[in-house]
Structure 1
Amino acid sequence: MISAGIVRGALLILLAVVLVLGLLIVGNRLVRRHRERRRERIAAPVRGSLLQLLCAEEDEQTELLNRLAETDRRTWAALEPTLTALLGKVAGGARTALVRLYELRGAAVDAVADLSSRSAARRGRAAQVLGQLSHRPAAPSLCRLLADHDPEVRLAATRALGRCGGPEAVSYLLEALHGPRAVPPAAVTRALVSLGPEAQRSVATGLEHPQPLARAVAIEVLGATGVVSRTSEIARALREDPQIEVRVKAARALGRLGMPEGLEPLLAAVRPGQPVALRMVGAGALGTLGAVAATGPLAELLGDPDRHVAATAARALLQIGPEGRAELQAAADDSGGPAAAQARAVLAESAVGAARDDVRAEVAL
């Protein structure tokens, strides 16, 4: 048996560890608060000029810009976190003024140099600044940071490339989806969408990527950005891709693109025997597509053994319009069965939503 002395000793050690950890946490907070207050104190003399700059007319900005650009390094370092935050929040003339301030200060050049810093915090902050400045020359260096050992730096570089990258960044972003230093797919998708129309051709090359995740992301981006010229390729992915994740993304994209070419592949995707996840997304996509020709097949799904597929089909019928609502009403008027119950539930849900909208409209008046 363990003696009482050993137990007491272990408890004392545990209490000592807890106490030390508590002191470390409190100490860290105090140090951080001290640094923030010190930074605010140093930046205080120029904050008024910064506020004037943001509110000034263009012809009144020159003197203020010169004054702020000539501040000493210590004051600029204290003010920069505020500038970085403002860059992500303001627009129009205020944003233009901040960009000019960074240019006069040479901060973009300094930020590019900081991308090679040993400090992960400095690399991440530099990437953030360059993205907010839309500093296109930094794109190659940011592409290299997609493989940084620090995950926060990789995320910062991904977001920055969405703002300052071009078609040449697409392949790097798609490759960043894989490996031990992968970037989350959602971040890559947002960056690729933000690159705009000039990158669409490069994104489309991802449809042939050997990695299924890259194909799935490429399809999602093409669907989200409305690249209707790639409808046939996305339809082929829905029919033929070996990975269910890619086929699901293709089904959703075809609904968003809204082209007639998407109808037949989507009808095939909802047939019995297909994976449930694909049938659900396919049914929803048929509703988004809005093709009247899908009314009959969707009505047949109201009695599907999988209730999720049936519920999605019922809501898709509502999206189609009067023809779909008529099918729902006919099913609801039936004497019974799962199809009738599903149709009644969705019609009731629609009626409640319509009544709520009416009340809100009356309140607004």
Structure 2
Amino acid sequence: MIPNDSSSQIETSTKHETAPLEQIDNDVTPPIGVTPPQILAQDAAAGRRGAAWRLLYWIMENDPRAVVAVSSLDDDRLAQHLLEFIATGTWAGKPFVVPPPLRSSHARNRLRTLFMPGAGIDPGRTERILLKAIHDKRPLVRETAAYTLGIFGSPVATSELKEALRDPVQSVRLQAAKALGRVGDPTAVPALIGALRGADEQMGSQIFNSLVRLGQLAVPALVEASSSNSAWIRWHCVRALGGIKDNRALPVLVRALSDTDHSVAWMGAKGLIHFGKKSIGPVLRILTTTEMTPWLVETASFVLSNQSNYNPKLKPYLDPVVQQMRSVGFRVATPQSAQKALSRLIADGLIEP
């Protein structure tokens, strides 16, 4: 009789239990088996798909042993294969048919959590894998790497993400722009603004969201770029400054009311609405110092009318100015009316000098 060998039994059991899932009904979850997650993690890193889906299944079941197996394995390949699966659905470059519980968007999102600091994979390994993957030849892998780098929030990734803004694939550029808004690095702002040149509406909207997310960090560069010769750049800068609502943006937004491009002027007016009473003084002052044009009448009266409607106490001061702006002799009458309203508002303590 041959004595029992526990190690050979585990090996035999592992080989049997981790047979490729393609051999099984795709809509039925096959037996999970009893192979320890530590062994499954090692086999999955080696590219064995049968072990991989079982390990992922245990992770989805919130089995702490599976997460420990992932976090304790000193092998970059497991993280590489996992990122590949999230991006393309393959494992180690091979087709990977997984059971229904692993096919959903939620499953991929749950597995992506393993790349977050303290959630599974070592942060140093995560950063190393993602920075390499963002140069992968497969667009889906680059896209997923950029997205995950943004969630990971590593400032080290800024230079790689800025480079990805020039990726030939639109979806990768979009994820890079989104990620740059999350890493919190002010050096990303000039790159985001520069990416606006030639950007379509979708890319422009994503860059806007990222700039607003960066908030005060983005203001200096946006203020500088708001003087660009490109109306497209000015429009986006004014839009972002209005969304950030930093007081340093007020002079830029007021100046935009008389921009030579009508769309920029109106974006300035819309941005000033967010500042409430703080916008009244600067708007009245520009009416006393700037040549009156039909566009300035439109945009400035929009801001003043909005404040008058929002705050009834301001109506006796602002409504006469708006009326003069809409009169035939607006070029002459508006500066005088604006100066009078400004003086009265300050004297009555309704706005700051």
Match of 2:227 in 1: 208
For the residues of structure 2 that align with 1:262 and 1:39, how far apart are their CA atoms?
65
Deviates more, 1:224-233 or 1:177-186: 177-186
Q: Which of 80, 97, 104 is the matching residue for 2:118?
A: 97
Partner of 1:85: 109
The structure that is helix-richer by fraction is 1
Q: How does 1:227-238 map to 2 (within 5 A)?
A: 227-238=246-257
> Compared with structure 1, are the counterparts of its residues 144 and 176 closer, same or farther at alpha carbon in structure 2 (3 Å cutoff)?
same
State the Cα RMSD in Å: 4.4
Opposite residue 239 of structure 2, the aligned amino acid is E
Q: Hey, what's the Cα distance between the residues in 2 that align with 1:184 and 1:166?
A: 20
- The residue number in structure 2 matching 1:342 is none
1:42 maps to which of 52, 65, 68: 52
Partner of 2:237: 218
2:186 and 2:217 in contact (8 A); partners too? yes
Match of 1:309 in 2: none
Q: Which amino acid aligns with 2:260?
A: P
Distance 2:67 2:130 in 1: 23
User: Would you say the 8 A contact 1:127–1:157 is kept in 2?
Assistant: yes
Cross-structure match for 1:344: none
Q: Which residue of 2 aligns with 1:256?
A: 274
Question: How many Å apart are 1:133 and its aligned residue?
Answer: 0.4
- Structure 2 stretches lacking a partner, 5+ long: 1-25, 30-47, 88-105, 327-353
Q: Deviations over 1:299-339 (max 9, x none)?
A: 9979x99xxxxxxxxxxxxxxxxxxxxxxxxxxxxxxxxxx
Unaligned runs of 5+ in 1: 1-33, 306-365
SS in 2 for 1:177: coil
Query: Relative contact order, CA 8 A, sep 6+: which one is greater?
Result: 2
Q: Note if contact 2:58-2:66 (Cα within 8 Å) is conserved in structure 1.
A: no
Q: Specify the code of the residue in structure 2 equivalent to 1:143.
A: K
Q: 1:167 corresponds to which residue?
A: 186
Q: Could you tell me how far 1:193 is from its partner in structure 2?
A: 0.9
Alpha-carbon distance between aligned partners in 2 of 1:280 and 1:68, rounded to the nearest angstrom: 65
TM-score for the superposition, normalised by structure 2 = 0.58
- Structure-2 separation of matches of 1:301 and 1:265: 14
Deviation per CA, 1:210-247, whole angstroms, max 9, x where unpaired? 212222222222222221133123212213x1111111
Mapping for residues 122-133 of structure 1, pairs under 5 Å: 122-133=141-152
User: 2:139, 2:172 within 8 Å by CA — same for their partners in 1?
Assistant: yes
**CA–CA distance in structure 2, aligned partners of residues 74 and 95 of structure 1:** 15
| 1:188 paired to 2:207 | yes
Secondary structure of the residue that 1:155 maps to in structure 2?
helix
Q: How many residues align?
A: 258
1:140 Cα shift? 1.1
Alignment of 1:226-305 (within 5 A): 226-239=245-258, 241-258=259-276, 259=278, 260-264=280-284, 273-274=294-295, 278=299, 282=303, 285-286=306-307, 290=311, 292-294=313-315, 298=319
- Please, which of 107, 124, 136 is the counterpart of residue 155 of structure 2? 136
Task: Confirm or deny: 8 A CA contact 2:134 2:142 kept in the other structure.
Answer: yes
**Equivalent residue letter for 1:250:** G
Q: 8 Å contact 2:266–2:299 — kept in the other structure?
A: yes
Report the TM-score, using the length of structure 1 for normalisation: 0.56
Deviation string for 1:33-70 (max 9, x for gaps)? Answer: x79x99898334344346547xx8xxx99946635776
Give the stretch that moved more between structures: 146-155 or 178-187: 178-187
User: Do the aligned residues in 1 keep the contact of 2:238 with 2:253 (CA within 8 Å)?
Assistant: yes
Q: Distance in 1 between matches of 2:305 and 2:242?
A: 15
User: Residue 174 of structure 1: SS of its match in structure 2?
Assistant: helix
Instruction: Output the CA distance in 2 between the equivalents of 1:47 and 1:194.
Output: 35
2:101 is matched with none
- Cα distance between partner residues in 2 of 1:40 and 1:196: 46
